[in-house]
Structure 1
């Protein structure tokens, strides 16, 4: 079971603790770049000591998932070598992000009618309720992925799970232990991915001679980056990680992850449209996209590039609208959108979110504000190198936070929410 897996991980970690076990590697295997961060855990703080980055070839990734294991391993080795040289230390434990349209993250609510409502609720009963939620969520994820792939035998695995809220007889509680009541409603976020994708990540870690301590759905990692260790956080926002192959969206409400959605349009889609419309190579199109604001680009060329970008933006905005429209259990969507990922560097994309009417049919109370996430806004992580300097490193920083959660947990024994979250993490 999930809880047993977690306890085994903790036991293994406790019995084999050695110098260097406080070092975490966050490996963001993106469609366009591999980013490696090496960090040391010091109490509640995470300090980045080394940063590495390596460009991926076109054939290495497809829609956010690994397509060529050997090619990806080579790129990861280069990024890691750069980070290790700067850090002066080699990490043993790695957290790798997973993305793609077949990664399913959603918040499920289970209502449990207690057979003995007068008996105070204890931890063993909470563990029983949590396992019921996860079993139900796994069945739904497998059915959805099987429908999308046309493969009824597809195998899925839980990659992330986190407690969102607990209600007893309609009353919200932060610590349900000791409460009496009949109806317990538990909201838990779960993310599942096909085993074939997870197997590829396990192979990469093995080839790199690193111990894979966690796989994280990338939008979940982004949410962990901004939430930090505050169990009572009221943070509320829509987080959008615009990568090379996919756009990953997480909705966070009062410190809880309501769900995550992914769709297969990212930075490469814009480049491909430019290349096709202007009849030029992919590399030429990428250079034009990145340098569109350069004064040396001819006005006629700039106009053609802008038209191609605008064409893809219409499709991308429709994808954002569709993804957010699937959060039908939320009365109102957060009025703040925070962006990260290389695709969010495109100024036209940010401007389109800020000015166009894509949000009108969605349950916003007003036009949402839009901004990129700054590394300085990532809770509890300090970049000692000053190289993880912009929004493109936020996902990798979030992976470090997931690694911290997995390895260390929290010393706050009074917060059941944190204690249960430690049980839930793999």
Structure 2
């Protein structure tokens, strides 16, 4: 039927059935002109989520066609999603105000808060991939104006307005499957909300939200929970148990087809008089009273009641003042009493509610005055107020749907697509960390380039607005490069030192070392290089720069088969004075450098005369006495102490044991002849001042004195 007023079409796509409502909108009032209810032919939905898109689409098309007979063509529809895998984010937004606040300004503030919630979810690590979640609805917790809390901002004046909202998010799979079913039914999703949000807007208007109330929408697959307190909705939750749990229990208990078990459940829920008659898959016929059936599945009803109560206590941090049950599953026998018992509140405080009158809806048809009609009526009402509308955009050729908050930008699209521009921008080139004379220095690489964004093939910025059908592409930025730094670019110029070496004027440049090795000024630096750069001040540095080897020359040799080493140092003087390698040099110093000569065998094996001779002092004169026999060979040839030894020589050296030396040996070596017996003298030997004999042994350093005294002749008278 034709009408000049705007038509609103809402669909409640439930697990067991689909309810469609069409209403005329005239200002703020809605007039219901048609309604249709159809059940799924198969279990095409489980726990509130579409599992068989073609089957669900077929039911949607049936409902749509039936309604169009009364209303004319229907192109757009408002829907609600169940709360399975639900996430909620509380966020706040601020807005500076310069004029009287309008309803549109208040709505814009809500949407800014929702965008903040989206960003909060994307950066919270709550979900593995935030791009797989859509915002499906929100509730405003509170408004404040210049610090004062208000129920609404509309008509107020002030400077700073804030809104706190609870935004709810569901997996994209839930929404995308719903979108696919609507597309197949040739319907466009015009608005989307969450089922408990829809229900609470029907039964608990803002004027009642100062009470601590809980609304539970018990469907076939899920039980959705919403809590009000202190004037606002304070939380949403979901229980993955509902009416199908009871149906399944009846099916298992009596071996029934699921659809037959559903019929049995409805019969006992309607509290029909008499017996409930049914037949199991084996042909056995049952005639039971409703109480008998109820008693058989009572543990399952209790499990559902306790699961609902547990969710309520978690969301509300305690028992509420009252609980309102809606949805087809709320008709489960004795469920309200069990929920009350689990919450420890009076039984009358838990009640099943039906929509009798709803503010903004002129009248409610009798067929909609049932608990399972609350949600579709709520969807209809929300669609007339502040529903979230979709717009489609593509990011890098992948389609995404965004809720049209009114001021969407490229940044919002990238957030929805899960694209982090910081990760797409080119990374800075790796820098170099070096040490120069003990001080750490960082040499930065070049910066990477930013990601390139185009909007409909035009260069765009994050703040640029977007609209339905826009195409966004992003190209990764290029990474920066590591720096190429030569040694000469990081050191200060220093003049060379001018001096003389072996009479030649020589220029000695400053000392440059990289990791302890001499370095060229053109050498490229690498990470963790340790650089030493200073004036050449010590004799050792000067000689190295001049090409000399100032350190000792080492000779390796074998001595009696054992590996040994001998060092020979050069002779170095500065201005005629002996110097060490650490001696400081100055300009115009004269350095003499005499290369070390090859060592002699006596030096190598440290052979001295004391090893083969002993020194005896005879009458105060030195006398060398052979004490041991020494035999030496170099590379198999006989050698003396003066034989030159080269690197790698093989030396054999033997020294016989010292022989005993006596006084007579010394006298013989000194060519001393004792006086004859006929001489007129006396003869006395002293060793170290003590009387001795010819056979007295002597040792190195002993003093031998021979005293000869003339014999005095006596005169006889």
TM-score normalised by the chain length of structure 1: 0.75
* Alpha-carbon distance in structure 1 between the residues aligned to 2:188 and 2:58: 17
Instruction: Give yes or no for contact 1:47–1:382 (8 Å, CA) kept in 2.
Output: yes
Shift of 1:20: 6.0
* Alpha-carbon distance in structure 2 between the residues aligned to 1:277 and 1:121: 66
The one of 300, 306, 311 equivalent to 2:294 is 306
The one of 108, 117, 138 equivalent to 1:137 is 117
* Alpha-carbon distance in structure 2 between the residues aligned to 1:45 and 1:187: 28
Matches within 5 A, 1:108-187: 108-110=90-92, 133-138=113-118, 141=121, 152=129, 155-167=132-144, 171-174=148-151, 178-179=157-158, 186-187=163-164
Equivalent position of 1:400 in the other structure: 380
SS class of match (1:327)? helix
Q: Mark the CA change 1:225 to 1:315 in structure 2 (over 3 Å): closer, same or farther.
A: same
Instruction: Give yes or no for contact 1:226–1:379 (8 Å, CA) kept in 2.
Output: no
Equivalent position of 2:185 in the other structure: 208
Q: Mark the CA change 1:289 to 1:19 in structure 2 (over 3 Å): closer, same or farther.
A: closer
Shift of 1:423: 6.9
State which drifts further: 128-137 or 338-347: 128-137
Instruction: Give yes or no for contact 1:335–1:368 (8 Å, CA) kept in 2.
Output: no
State which drifts further: 131-140 or 208-217: 131-140
The one of 307, 313, 321 equivalent to 1:335 is 321
The root-mean-square deviation of aligned C-alpha atoms, in Å, is 3.8
Q: Mark the CA change 1:302 to 1:226 in structure 2 (over 3 Å): closer, same or farther.
A: closer
State which drifts further: 217-226 or 308-317: 308-317
Equivalent position of 2:305 in the other structure: 317
The one of 252, 260, 268 equivalent to 2:236 is 260
- Based on CA coordinates, which of the two structures has the bigger radius of gyration? 2
The one of 53, 63, 66 equivalent to 2:37 is 53
* Alpha-carbon distance in structure 2 between the residues aligned to 1:345 and 1:145: 39
Instruction: Give yes or no for contact 1:20–1:92 (8 Å, CA) kept in 2.
Output: no
* Alpha-carbon distance in structure 2 between the residues aligned to 1:385 and 1:111: 40
State which drifts further: 154-163 or 172-181: 172-181
Instruction: Give yes or no for contact 2:145–2:162 (8 Å, CA) kept in 1.
Output: yes
* Residue 190, structure 1, aligned to residue 146, structure 2: no
SS class of match (1:313)? helix
SS class of match (1:387)? helix
Give a deviation string over 1:195-224, Cα, whole Å, max 9, x none. 221112222222232332111110001112
Shift of 1:345: 1.8
* Residue 220, structure 1, aligned to residue 197, structure 2: yes
Shift of 1:78: 1.3
Equivalent position of 2:455 in the other structure: none
Instruction: Give yes or no for contact 1:238–1:249 (8 Å, CA) kept in 2.
Output: yes
Give a deviation string over 1:42-88, Cα, whole Å, max 9, x none. 22211111111111144310110111111001111112222333x34
* Residue 32, structure 1, aligned to residue 16, structure 2: yes
Give a deviation string over 1:285-328, Cα, whole Å, max 9, x none. 22222222331237756455223431112221222122112325
* Residue 91, structure 1, aligned to residue 74, structure 2: yes
More contact order relative to length (CA 8 Å, sep ≥ 6):
1
* Alpha-carbon distance in structure 1 between the residues aligned to 2:21 and 2:210: 25
Q: Mark the CA change 1:144 to 1:396 in structure 2 (over 3 Å): closer, same or farther.
A: farther
Equivalent position of 2:361 in the other structure: 381
Comparing both structures, which one devotes a greater share of its residues to strand?
Answer: 2
* Residue 79, structure 1, aligned to residue 63, structure 2: yes
* Alpha-carbon distance in structure 1 between the residues aligned to 2:62 and 2:290: 35
SS class of match (1:77)? helix
Equivalent position of 2:488 in the other structure: none
Shift of 1:186: 3.7
Structure 1 unaligned regions, length at least 5: 1-17, 409-421
* Alpha-carbon distance in structure 1 between the residues aligned to 2:220 and 2:124: 24
Give a deviation string over 1:237-292, Cα, whole Å, max 9, x none. 31111101010111123552222111211111101111112333223322222222
* Alpha-carbon distance in structure 2 between the residues aligned to 1:131 and 1:40: 27
Give a deviation string over 1:322-374, Cα, whole Å, max 9, x none. 2112325x6x65422222111112232233234x2x113xxx7x666122222
* Alpha-carbon distance in structure 1 between the residues aligned to 2:124 and 2:80: 21
Q: Mark the CA change 1:304 to 1:103 in structure 2 (over 3 Å): closer, same or farther.
A: same
Instruction: Give yes or no for contact 1:338–1:370 (8 Å, CA) kept in 2.
Output: yes
The one of 288, 292, 296 equivalent to 2:275 is 296
* Alpha-carbon distance in structure 1 between the residues aligned to 2:130 and 2:54: 27
Equivalent position of 2:254 in the other structure: 278
* Alpha-carbon distance in structure 1 between the residues aligned to 2:125 and 2:50: 18
The one of 86, 98, 103 equivalent to 1:103 is 86
Instruction: Give yes or no for contact 1:32–1:56 (8 Å, CA) kept in 2.
Output: yes
Instruction: Give yes or no for contact 1:335–1:367 (8 Å, CA) kept in 2.
Output: no
* Alpha-carbon distance in structure 2 between the residues aligned to 1:368 and 1:385: 27
SS class of match (1:223)? helix
Give a deviation string over 1:173-193, Cα, whole Å, max 9, x none. 345664357xx7642121211
Instruction: Give yes or no for contact 2:36–2:66 (8 Å, CA) kept in 1.
Output: yes
SS class of match (1:291)? helix
Instruction: Give yes or no for contact 2:18–2:40 (8 Å, CA) kept in 1.
Output: yes
Q: Mark the CA change 1:259 to 1:407 in structure 2 (over 3 Å): closer, same or farther.
A: closer
Equivalent position of 1:347 in the other structure: 333
Shift of 1:398: 0.5
